[in-house]
Amino acid sequence: MADNSDPKPPGETQSRPHQRRARYRGTHPRTFSEKYKEHAPERYATTVAKVLASGKTPAGTHRPIMVAEILSVLAPSPGKIAIDVTLGHGGHTLEILPLLRPGGRLAGLDADPIELPKTESRIRALGYGPEVFTAHRSNFAGLPKVLAQAGLPGADLLLADLGVSSMQIDDPSRGFSLKLNGPLDMRMNPHRGQSAASLLAKIQADALAQLLTEASDEPLALELGQALAGRTLGTTVALAAAVRAALPRLNADGLDLTIRRVFQALRIAVNDEFSALDTLLRHLPACLNPGGRVAILTFHSGEDRRVKKAFAAGLQDNTYSSICHDVVRPTTEERNSNPRSSPAKMRWAIRSL
C-alpha cells in the first residue's frame, strides 16, 4: 500500500504533529517496517479508499466479513449486552456498538497482545468509554471468566469470527504469511506456547500427517508428514520451499494450495484452535441470556463441523430454540470485492427462553 509520496499528500490528513519518517533505500519502502502507511492507515484515508476500490484489503487493516448478515442475525438494539469474542481490528464491533446505545455494553476478547491495544485505542478515540466498551486479552475459551470479570450475567448477542486477521497475515514478523519471509512463528500470542518451527522440529511423521488431514483436509498428508516432520525450518520461506521440494511433480497451482493448507494446519495446532472452539461451544449456552443470539464465522470444514454439530445437539435438547440449518455464505459481490471472505461460512443459533 505504501508508495514514495510525501507523508502528507493532497487529500490526506494527519492528526498528529509532523514527524520525519524513517528513511529507506531506493524510491519505495520494501520491508514491512518501512511501510509507514501500513502502520497508520487511519491517517491515509485516500490511499486506503483506492486500495479498497481495487478489491484488495489495505495492509495493516482488516475488512469485516458479512456485516449485514451478522447484524440481521444478532439484531443489536439499545440496552443489549454484546460480546465479540474475536475482536481483531474491531470492524464488527464498530458496526454493533452504535446500535446498543443508549444503555448497552460490549465486551471484546482477543488473545493477541500486539493488536489488542491498537484496536482498543481506535475504539476509544471514537468516543466509546469503558462504560460502553471493554477490551479483554483472552482466548475465547476464557469467555466465562471474562463475563465474571466484567460483571456481566450473560450476553444478548455474541459473535465469533474465527481464524486469523489480515493485520497478522500482513506482518511478516508474525510468521503467518507464505508470501513474505519471516520467522516461522504463527502464534496469536507470541509470548506463550511453542512456535510453528518448534512444533515441526519435534513432531513425528504420523502425527504431522494426522494434523494435516484433520486441520486442513490435505490429501497428500502422508507424503508431507514424512518430508517435514523433525525438520529445522526457521522461516516461512524455508517451509514453503520444503513443501515444494517434497512434491516436485505437483503443478504450481496445486503447490500453492498445498502450502496454504500446511500453513493453516500448523497455525491451528500452534494456537490449539480446535480445543479452544470446543470449549467455547461447550460453555456457550450458559454464557447467553434467555433468547440470546450467537453468530459464528468459520473458514475451515473442521471448524464448521464442530459448530454445526454443537448447534444441532443444542436444538435437540432444547438448549436452542432455533438454529441455522443451511450455512450462510458471503454474497458474490462481497467475494469479488474482498477475496479473503470467500471461504467464510456463518451459522447462528438462538438460546431458548
The reply to whether 251 and 279 lie within a common domain is no
Rounded mean pLDDT, 165-177? 74
User: CATH number for the domain including 102?
Assistant: 3.40.50.150
The reply to whether 278 and 160 lie within a common domain is yes
Domain end point (choices 233, 253, 270): 270
pLDDT at 52 over 70: no
Domain end point (choices 222, 240, 270): 270
Domain end point (choices 212, 236, 270): 270
Considering only residues 73 and 23, tell me which one the structure prediction assigns the higher pLDDT. 73
Q: What is the pLDDT of residue 256?
A: 94
The reply to whether 103 and 147 lie within a common domain is yes
Lowest mean pLDDT among 79-88, 165-174, 224-233, 263-272: 165-174
C-beta of residue 55 within 8 angstroms of C-beta of residue 339:
yes
Cα 192 to Cα 82: distance, rounded to the nearest angstrom? 28
Tens of pLDDT, residue by residue over 333-349, are 999 988 889 999 999 99
Domain count, the chain: 2
Cα 59 to Cα 4: distance, rounded to the nearest angstrom? 16
Considering only residues 35 and 113, tell me which one the structure prediction assigns the higher pLDDT. 113
- Residues facing 160 on adjacent strands: 296
- Mean pLDDT computed over every residue of the chain: 87
Provide the edge-to-edge strand list for the sheet that holds 288-298. 133-137, 105-110, 81-84, 155-161, 288-298, 345-351, 320-323
Tens of pLDDT, residue by residue over 253-285, are 999 999 999 999 999 999 999 999 999 999 999
Rounded mean pLDDT, 105-128? 94
Q: What is the pLDDT of residue 187?
A: 92
pLDDT at 5 over 50: no
User: CATH number for the domain including 200?
Assistant: 1.10.150
Q: What is the pLDDT of residue 47?
A: 59
The reply to whether 205 and 239 lie within a common domain is yes
pLDDT at 155 over 80: yes
The predicted model scores a pTM of 0.80
**Confidence grade of residue 16 (pLDDT, cut at 50, 70, 90):** low
The reply to whether 130 and 73 lie within a common domain is yes
Cα 91 to Cα 62: distance, rounded to the nearest angstrom? 7
Q: What is the pLDDT of residue 10?
A: 42
The reply to whether 225 and 278 lie within a common domain is no
Rounded mean pLDDT, 120-144? 95
The reply to whether 148 and 80 lie within a common domain is yes
pLDDT at 128 over 80: yes
* Sign of the CA dihedral with 46 first, then 50, 55, and 59 last: negative
pLDDT at 286 over 90: yes
Tens of pLDDT, residue by residue over 207-222, are 999 999 999 999 999 9
Cα 184 to Cα 102: distance, rounded to the nearest angstrom? 45
The reply to whether 108 and 138 lie within a common domain is yes
Q: What is the pLDDT of residue 7?
A: 47
Domain that holds residue 79: 67-166+274-351
Of the spans 15-29, 39-53, 109-123, which averages the highest pLDDT?
109-123
Q: What is the pLDDT of residue 2?
A: 44
The reply to whether 71 and 161 lie within a common domain is yes
